[in-house]
Amino acid sequence: MKGSTVNLSRHWIALGLLVVVLVVAGSVMAAPRMDIENDSFNFGYVPQNSKITHSFWLKSTGDDTLRVVRVVPG
Amino acid sequence: MKKDAIAVGDSAELEIIFSTKRYNRTMTKRPKIITNVGPPDKRVAITASPVARPDSTYPLVFNPYKLDLSQFGEKVRENITFDITNVSDEDLRIEVIATRDNLWELELPESIGAGKTEKAMLKLTDEGLETSFEKSFTVEVDDRRNSRFTMPVKRSIHAARPRVVTPNTTTNTANKAATGNTKSDKKGDK
């Protein structure tokens, strides 16, 4: 009787450890990801000495928040 | 960018501004986007062909080739018209490739006959009327090269200068106080 109680406790501990491992692994493996649908744009002819603009859309497709640190002019 | 943290499944707008300066050849810029995704960093690419003589492009010529809706004083400037001339020998269809629907509405002809000139109009929206900006829109024609043209659109709002009121010795005290002319008031008090 006592032996079976010990076995049951061990099962619960093992199950608990498994859950903890899965949660930790899940949080460690969660990764941000970025997709850009159209990553190039051609303005064509433009006048000199003017400012023109184009918007790209960045989509967060991973399983963690995507953070844009900075944009470096190319 | 309007936000630098993008939740899972969300999107964010990244606006690239290109100053054409006095460049006179086709050029490509590749800004790098550094994120918490890690290397390799992604890049976007923009290509533009600045022209020194925008009044002699082919197959379309825009006049004026820059749209300035700047407002000086209280008179509201809400639209601007411009001409588009087809200087080629074939009829051309025009398609808007990129625009700013939140700032303006474009009224463009769907097609322009060979050698013909058509009127077009850009009308500011309520949001466009309230803001200063330097943006652009891009159109494409169905010639063999699918030529594109980008028109800069600028608006700056300059407040009306305060009306200068010259001191008037016959003016009563209440009016002088309104113009801030306190020196003569003090004299009067004595």
The domain limits of chain B are 12-50, 53-158
Q: Find, in chain A, the residue whose alpha carbon is nearest to that of B151.
A: A46
Report whether pLDDT(A22) > 90: no
The answer to whether the CB atoms of A45 and B149 lie below 8 A apart is yes
Q: Find, in chain A, the residue whose alpha carbon is nearest to that of B148.
A: A44
For residue B53, report the phi and psi dihedrals to the nearest 5 degrees: -120, 75
Name the residue among A45, A57, A54 with its Cα closest to residue B134.
A54
- List B residues 52-91 in contact with A (Cβ-Cβ < 8 A): 52, 54, 57, 65-66
B49 touches chain A (CB under 8 A): yes
CATH superfamily of B53-158: Immunoglobulins (2.60.40.10)
Run of H or E including B72: strand B71-72
List, for residues B72-124, the tens digit of each pLDDT value.
887 888 999 999 999 999 999 999 999 999 999 999 999 999 999 999 999 99
- Model ipTM? 0.81
What pLDDT does B189 receive?
A: 39
Q: What is the pLDDT confidence band of residue B15, given thresholds at 50, 70 and 90?
A: very high
Q: How many CB pairs under 8 A join A and B?
A: 198
What pLDDT does B76 receive?
A: 86
CA–CA dist B190, B172 (Å, integer): 16
B96 touches chain A (CB under 8 A): no
Residues of A in contact with B150 (CB under 8 A): 43-46, 52
pTM over 0.80: no
List for chain A the helix, strand, coil content (%; round to 5): 40, 40, 25
List, for residues B145-190, the tens digit of each pLDDT value.
999 999 999 999 987 666 666 665 444 443 433 333 333 333 333 3
